[in-house]
Amino acid sequence: MKIVITGSSGFVGSHLVSFFKGRGDTLILLSRTPNEGEHFWDPDTKQIDPSILEGVDVVINLAGENILGRWNQKKMDLIRQSRFTSTQFLCETLISAKALPRLYLNASAIGYYGDRGEEVLTEESQSGHGFLAEVCREWEVIPNSLAQNGVRVACMRFGLVLGEDGGALKLMIKPFKMGMGGSLGKGAQIMSWIAIDDVVSAVDFVIEHEEVSGPVNFTAPAPLSNLEFTKILASLLNKPAPMPIPKFALGMIFGSGAEVFLSSTYVHPERLLKSGFHFQYTDLETCLKKYLEINP
């Protein structure tokens, strides 16, 4: 299989590259600053060698500015435009190719749903409010141009991706190991998470199952509150978690970007489950034990 991946150096992308390479697939990795074995592209200046996209089977678009950090206007513009510009250019280039891919997978996020308390959210739920909801909503529309030309399109709405070598868990571990971990705000917000191993398996599942298209929730079927998450992580590390971070402090640190940590999204992976996908990790404690290398 010939697979194009953008954003291949990121946490999710690097795991997908390892999986597909191990299986013997042919990979076309697009990068603005290519290393050996990668191909140059620059969506801002519309530069790419279109011949490298000829005859591809699957395109996986993960390009986009990291949402973590303090949100000022410059950061928010970068979050938005890095996604829109790269996706628009990629779709336009694919449409002009001699043969279209059979599947286009675009990254998105459960931020699409906004802050919804304990409401159970499926792929059929309406988009919510807030900056991330707006970005995800507009981002997911762009690949419609491919769908209109007969390409199967799926948008991966990622929850909190957990793994041993990157993502959210890597950021959380340090303060917890120092005994300075704690819940965020009151800790009542629901966290919808997924193990990186299940992300990779779910991507492969979508590739192989022609009936799966449209939005797909990439979350384990076991959301829990931030307070519950905090207690489990602290317990596994044998550390106290005495220092809840108040909402105003998160606002001082991250500005309006605090919504990433405080929004409550109870997301159910209905489309994957109904299509027959089996999650390896449906229990947070089991997942964390694996990635923290804690023996049972």
Q: pLDDT tens digits, the chain, 296 residues: what are they?
A: 999 999 999 999 999 999 999 999 999 999 999 988 899 999 999 999 999 999 999 999 999 999 988 899 999 999 999 999 999 999 999 999 989 999 999 999 999 999 999 999 999 999 999 999 999 999 999 999 999 999 999 999 999 999 998 888 888 888 888 888 899 999 999 999 999 999 999 999 999 999 999 999 999 999 999 999 999 999 999 998 878 888 888 888 888 888 888 999 999 999 999 999 999 999 999 999 999 987 65
pLDDT reported for residue 296: 56
CA distance 153 to 143: 7
As a three-state string, the secondary structure of 48-84 is ECHHHHCCCCEEEECCCCCCCCCECHHHHHHHHHHHH
Task: Give the model's pLDDT for residue 88.
Answer: 98
Residue 237 forms part of a structural domain: yes
What are the beta bridge partners of residue 36?
Answer: none
Tell me 126's DSSP state: P
* Residue 103, in any domain of the structure: yes
Q: For residue 151, is it within any domain?
A: yes
Q: What is the pTM of this model?
A: 0.95
Task: Please name which of 161, 232, 223 lies closest in space to residue 191, comparing C-alpha atoms.
Answer: 223
Structure tokens at 126: 């309406």
246: part of which helix (H) or strand (E)? none
Q: Is residue 192 a part of any domain in this protein? A: yes
Contact 145, 96 (CB under 8 A): no
Which pLDDT score is estimated for 274?
98
Nearest by Cα to 30 from 55, 57, 62: 62
What local confidence, expressed as pLDDT, does residue 241 receive? 84
Does residue 296 form part of some domain?
no
What's the CATH number where 108 sits? 3.40.50.720
Residue 219 is part of which domain span?
2-291
Q: How many domains does the chain have?
A: 1
The two three-digit tokens of residue 143, written as one number: 């690949």
